[in-house]
Amino acid sequence: MEAGVRLSAGASKWDIREKIWDYMEANNLADFPRPVHHRIPNFKDSPQACQALRELELFNRTSEVKVDPDKPLEGVRLVTLQARKTLLVPTPRLRTGLFNKIVPPPGATKEILRICATSQGVKNYSVPIGLDAKVQVDLVVVGSVAVSEQGWRIGKGEGFADMEYGMMASMGAVREDTPVVTVVHDCQVVDIAEELLEDHDLTVDYILTPTRTIKTGCKRPKPQGIIWHKISYEMLEKIPILKNLRHRESQAGKDVTLKDEHPDFPNARKPVDLDENTKPGNTNLPAESASALVGHCCVGNNPLSTKSGTHGALTTVYVGNIPPGTRVSELKSALREFQAVPLRLSWQGAQHRAFLDYTDKITAENVLASLKGLSLRGHTLRVELAKNQRSKGQVAFSEQRNKYK
């Protein structure tokens, strides 16, 4: 352990982060990108620490490995690909989903595998994995700012690693005994008071550094799902897949009350009834979504007309693969939960599809991001821009339907 990292008694999580970041910069232990402040710090000799993963017996028994996208874990991603294991990488900041599965091209050379392990390679050689995927992760590798030999971990403060693990637990992708590994510089291994840990904090079972491998023997339970009362509306807005998961758990009868809805929260909001039909003027909606409910909804092939000049050039979103027996109210409930309520909805349940009208293309594209991976009754819906956009709000639905026959 680096003796230079000294923590005062009663140091907070943020104090510890600052000490680590400052020490790594002052002693030139950091590597690109710099400065390391507010990051999972990349460090010199990180490839050496990552190679230690090969020596863990548990790594040889794994077939599916989830590795965070942080720069110092690039070597772990490469080792995983070289071992011909399935590599899952969370999407950056969970903006577009949960996982990307890295799929190297057939006959990939060592150099191509190195590219696949980089952030650019994740973009170029991956396919998205949704909540419906039957994923069974055998090993989780996360980045850290600081970690203790007891397995207590501190990240950069945004909670994404904790949230990703909670999501994986909710979808059954990890078990209680799924091992968690972190890779850090020796100076990042410090004493951390257990009192600083909260129930959503992820702990680690192994610590890999450039000079040693530490088995923590940690017995503290890991998160077994999303703790909804710690999630805010703001976070829900930033992470569309979180909305999807909340909708599912609500339908399963779980308590999904958010932090902002908790009675102890200042100016607490009234919880939204996720099963209530969408309708204009509903006062139970959060303020930021109430303005979306200004249009009409129709069922069948003849949309309700709107006042001249109200909509201008609409943008239509196609929703397909709707499972048999689904009611329009189920789709409306999901749209409301994801704050994706359209100006107008055309329901064609017999054909397993629907069309949603939005005021403009930007709004429609935001909806596409929000609804990515949405499922009803266990079926992942196909959500995309309709191939034949309406012009000035007046295009026959028969033309659009023909595009999907």
Rounded to whole angstroms, the Cα distance separating 15 from 56 reads 32
Name the amino acid, one letter, at 260. Answer: D
CATH number of 13-215: 3.40.50.10420
Q: Which of 244, 239, 192 is nearest to 11 (CA)?
A: 192
Under 8 Å CB-to-CB from 111, ≥6 apart: which residues? none
Question: pLDDT per residue over 112-139, tens digit each?
Answer: 999 999 988 888 888 888 777 788 999 9
Cβ neighbors of 230 (< 8 A, separation 6 or more) are: 200, 259
What pLDDT sits at residue 397?
39
pLDDT value for 280: 33
The residues spanned by each domain of the chain are 13-215, 273-402
What pLDDT is attached to residue 300? 36
Q: What is the pLDDT of residue 202?
A: 94
**Three-state SS at 197:** coil
DSSP conformation letters of 106-117: TT--HHHHHHHT
pLDDT tens sequence across 236-252: 877 778 888 888 888 88
Structure tokens at 105: 């091209």
Comparing CA positions, the residue from 98, 97, 107, 56 lying closest to residue 80 is 56
Asked whether the beta carbons of 151 and 176 are under 8 A apart, the reply is no
Give the pLDDT score at 10.
Answer: 83
Q: From the options 3.40.1390.30, 3.30.590.10, 3.40.50.620, 3.30.70.330, give the CATH code of 273-402.
A: 3.30.70.330
Q: Which two tokens stand for residue 333?
A: 């409930």
Examine domains 13-215 and 273-402 and report if their fold is the same: no
One digit per residue, the tens of pLDDT, for the chain of length 405 reads: 445 688 888 889 999 999 999 999 999 999 999 899 999 999 999 999 999 999 999 999 999 999 999 999 999 999 999 999 999 998 766 666 678 899 999 889 999 999 999 988 888 888 888 777 788 999 999 999 999 999 999 999 887 888 889 888 988 899 988 999 999 999 999 999 999 998 889 999 999 999 999 999 999 999 888 888 888 888 887 777 888 888 888 888 888 888 887 666 555 555 544 443 333 333 233 333 322 322 233 333 333 333 333 345 789 999 998 988 888 888 887 887 677 889 889 998 888 899 999 888 888 888 887 787 777 776 788 898 887 654 433 333 333 434 433
Beta strands in 91-162 (DSSP E): 99-102, 126-129, 139-142, 146-147, 153-154
pLDDT of residue 270: 55
How far apart are the two ends of the chain, measured CA to CA in Å? 65
Find residue 215's DSSP bridge partners. Answer: 206
